[in-house]
């Protein structure tokens, strides 16, 4: 049995923070942030470095890199996504209730941005496992077959495009996710409490953004390069600016409708 009571260096009887509820939440938070950094680091590496870099490589070198680098990176990427999601759920589960994530919290400005971040990041985790990974398996199997002197799979370019659109959409969501996750305790408590109408408007807007953008990323409005709906996915710069724009929009919404408490 773990004994948490002990005497500190000043001779005072005390308990270990490690085994208290808040201490445990602290441990979960650290784990969550480490997993999230690994996931987001790889996501941004894929989008800002790998994709433009591979486009400039000759096919033989690229196929080799898919086999040796991307394959390994994708293992860390998808399990980091899973671990981020699981640790986030645990933080929620341990702190559910009126003194933590109860109904008062979800009605507060912090609750609004955290809920938004959770919805966006849950979609992102689903994109990793259900869109990006299956499509990347096709792309990498094709790279390996071609490198071994076999036939190219005609489905591979389509799979690459489907994976790329979901990956760029994840990049777009990622900045607002950080805003909500970090801001929930650190700066959104500075805003005025929201009235029912403003709260409803915010939640409706965010759900609309999540649904419309995700349907777009899944190719429901077309996947052709250069069309108005796919412009945000056609370059990593476009995805970066759209993501930053969405994050600024969320902050401005709070400034315009609420302001400082
Ligand atoms: C892209 C995915 C994600 C990223 C980058 C991310 C990142 C972070 C970061 C940096 C924090 C701040 C820790 C702090 O300041 O104390 C945080 C907190 C948190 N995250 Fe996530 N997270 C992600 C996904 C999720 C998911 C999927 C969930 C839930 C299902 C979740 C639930 C939480 C909760 C409950 C907190 C504590 C918020 C608070 O301070 O009240 N996160 N996250």
- Average pLDDT on 102-106 reads 95
- The answer to whether the CB of 14 is under 6 A from ligand 1 is no
Asked if the structure places residue 78 within a domain, the reply is yes
27-72 pLDDT, tens digit per residue, is 999 999 999 999 999 999 999 999 999 999 999 999 999 999 999 9
Pocket lining: 85 vs ligand 1, CB cutoff 6 Å: yes
- Asked if residue 128 is part of any domain, the answer here is yes
User: What does the alpha-carbon distance between residue 153 and residue 155 come to, in Å, rounded to a whole number?
Assistant: 5
Within-domain flag for 131: yes
Query: What three-state secondary structure class fits 15?
Result: strand
Q: Is residue 10 part of a domain?
A: no
Residue 6 placed within a domain: no
pLDDT for 1: 46
Is residue 8 in a domain?
Answer: no
Integer Cα distance of 19 and 12 in angstroms: 18
With respect to residue 13, please indicate whether it lies within any of the assigned structural domains.
no
Q: Whose CA is nearest to atom 6 of ligand 1?
A: 36
DSSP letter for each residue of 25-93: HHHHHHHHHHHHHHHHHHHHIIIIIIHHHHHTS-HHHHHHHIIIIIHHHHHHHHHHHHHHHHHHHHHHH
Of 210, 220, 228, 222, the closest CA to residue 170 belongs to 210
5: enclosing H helix or E strand: strand 5-7
Contact between residue 83 and residue 129 where contact means Cβ atoms under 8 Å apart: no
N residues, the chain: 261
Give the chain's domain count. 1
The string of DSSP codes covering 199-216 is HHHHHHHHHHHHHHHHHH
- Write out the residue range of the structural domain in which residue 221 sits: 21-257
4 has a pLDDT exceeding 80: no
- Does residue 15 sit within a domain? no
Percent of the chain with pLDDT over 70: 99
Q: Whose CA is nearest to atom 29 of ligand 1?
A: 88
Q: Pick the closest to residue 83 from 125, 123, 135, 22 (CA basis).
A: 125
pLDDT tens profile 172-201: 999 999 999 999 999 999 999 999 999 999
């Amino acid at each position: 049995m773990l004994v948490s009571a002990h005497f500190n260096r000043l001779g005072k009887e005390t308990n270990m923070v490690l085994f208290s509820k808040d201490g445990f939440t602290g441990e979960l938070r650290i784990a969550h942030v480490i997993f999230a950094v690994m996931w987001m680091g790889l996501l941004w590496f894929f989008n800002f470095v790998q994709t433009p870099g591979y486009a400039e490589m000759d096919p033989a070198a690229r196929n080799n890199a898919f086999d040796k680098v991307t394959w390994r990176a994708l293992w860390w990427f998808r399990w980091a996504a899973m671990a981020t999601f699981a640790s986030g759920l645990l933080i929620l589960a341990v702190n559910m209730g009126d003194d933590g994530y109860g109904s008062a919290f979800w009605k507060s400005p912090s609750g609004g941005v955290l809920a938004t971040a959770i919805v966006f990041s849950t979609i992102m985790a689903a994109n990793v496992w259900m869109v990006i990974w299956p499509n990347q398996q096709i792309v990498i199997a094709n790279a390996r077959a071609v490198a071994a002197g076999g036939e190219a799979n005609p489905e591979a370019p389509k799979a690459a495009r489907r994976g790329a659109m979901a990956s760029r959409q994840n990049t777009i969501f990622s900045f607002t996710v950080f805003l909500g996750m970090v801001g929930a305790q650190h700066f959104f408590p500075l805003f005025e409490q929201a009235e029912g109408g403003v709260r409803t408007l915010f939640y409706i807007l965010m759900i609309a953004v999540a649904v419309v953008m995700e349907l777009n990323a899944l190719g429901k409005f077309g996947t052709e390069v250069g069309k108005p709906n796919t412009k945000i996915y056609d370059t990593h710069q476009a995805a970066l600016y759209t993501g930053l724009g969405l994050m600024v929009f969320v902050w401005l919404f709070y400034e315009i409708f609420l302001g400082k408490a």
